[in-house]
Amino acid sequence: MNGVIALLGSGETAPGMVRVHRQLLARYDHPIAINLDSSYGFQENVPQMTAKLVDYFATSLATTLVPVSLTNYERATPLERALVHGAVREADYVFAGPGSPSYALAQWRPLELVEDFAVALEHGATLCLASAATLTLGRYSAPIYEVYKVGAEPHWLDGLDLLGRYGLACAVIPHYDNAEGRDYDTSRCYLGERRLAILEAELPEDVAILGVDEHSALILDLENDEARVLGRGHAYWRRGTEVRVLDHAPTPLDALRDGARHSLAPAPQATRASDHSLELAEAAHGGDLEALAALVAAARRAPAPTALVEAVLEARAVARASGHYELADRLRDGLVEAGIELRDGPAGTTWFGGSTTGA
């Protein structure tokens, strides 16, 4: 089963996006939804931004959005990085949105988060990226802040190229029809057509521009191998002088691929939490129980048991089985500090916390 990639042309709270989120979330009975804060991790108001998103999902979508934090890759502990990997791979709905595409890339590329995205999609998850985060998914990414705000010459950054795994060689441009400038061109994600044309000329011949209008979402249904637009605008697949306008009618993804169907890179095999348990145990051995407690506290707000709790429990089991009892006790202490109650029994460890129960 393959999942869905949703490319939102504007912010998650833009008019019409509630309907888009509802249609995507309706694929799941009790979705585990997470928010990645990396794209706005450089801002001073990260907690407020995250709280706003959590409230939006709760009030507008009746969905619990669990914060998963990685604001700075270099400062993150191995444990924090491992828990991000596990959270993304086990989620049903992965959301990331506002901020800076170049900053998001600087955190996600060394983390190799694209592998986690691919695993999540393989088990049927929805990867829903809005605004700045959307720009990271192509082979190339435009550094919008640096060009529009700072005045840097138009240039490309290497993107995550997640879409390339599915035969879509492109650079994604949200806010394609933006008109905030009124008397000057802010379309093409504030670059304007002139600067985008400069960038487009630098692309290899086989790479297209994938534009998505505001108040719209391009839905890439990987299971059915087709694309369609939700919302009031359009999406655009432009390569050279040819532009294909995408609308609400399904478009086969083969129509966007260059000639014959590409030989697609196989998605990584899904990884159980237990496969990460030794890595988690080794990371926790560093003693960063404060980070462990914060992440597990966030995890227990999810509507179903998540990898963040289960992986720590399995790491504890590995530590106990290998005779590292002090490490096992430290992992237990971290869970207890996060508000998780543990009960050891003949059948294993049962945990309680928030609205969830795990065995």
Residues 31 and 143 in one domain: yes
Residues 80 and 183 in one domain: yes
90 within domain boundaries: yes
Mean pLDDT, consecutive 10-residue stretches, the chain (359 aa), reads: 92 79 95 97 96 95 95 93 92 96 97 96 96 96 93 96 97 96 93 95 96 96 96 93 93 81 41 46 54 54 53 74 77 75 75 53
DSSP state of 64: P
Residues 203 and 279 in one domain: no
Residues 79 and 16 in one domain: yes
Residues 116 and 164 in one domain: yes
The pLDDT of residue 353 is 62
Residues 215 and 332 in one domain: no
Which stretches within the chain are classed as H helix? 17-25, 46-61, 78-90, 101-111, 113-122, 131-134, 144, 192-201, 277-284, 289-299, 307-321, 325-337
The pLDDT of residue 336 is 78
Residues 152 and 21 in one domain: yes
Residues 141 and 229 in one domain: yes
Amino acid, res. 243: V
Residue 201 CB coordination number (10 Å): 9
262 within domain boundaries: no
The domain tally of the chain equals 2
Residues 242 and 286 in one domain: no
Question: Among 227, 255, 283, which residue terminates a domain?
Answer: 255
SS (HEC) of 231-270: ECCCEEEEECCEEEEECCCCEEHHHCCCCCCCCCCCCCCC
Q: What CA–CA distance (Å, rounded) separates 15 from 139?
A: 29
Q: How far is CA 9 from CA 109, 112, 163, 176, 220, in A?
A: 22, 24, 16, 7, 13
| Pairing status of strand 208-212 against strand 170-173 | parallel
Residues 180 and 301 in one domain: no
Q: How far is CA 133 from the centre of its chain?
A: 8
Residues 226 and 157 in one domain: yes
265 within domain boundaries: no
263 within domain boundaries: no
In this structure, what token pair is assigned to residue 23?
């249609």
CATH number of the domain at 21, please. 3.40.50.880
> How many Å is the Cα radius of gyration of the chain?
21
**Enclosing domain of residue 346:** 273-358
Residues 234 and 287 in one domain: no
pLDDT, the chain, mean: 85
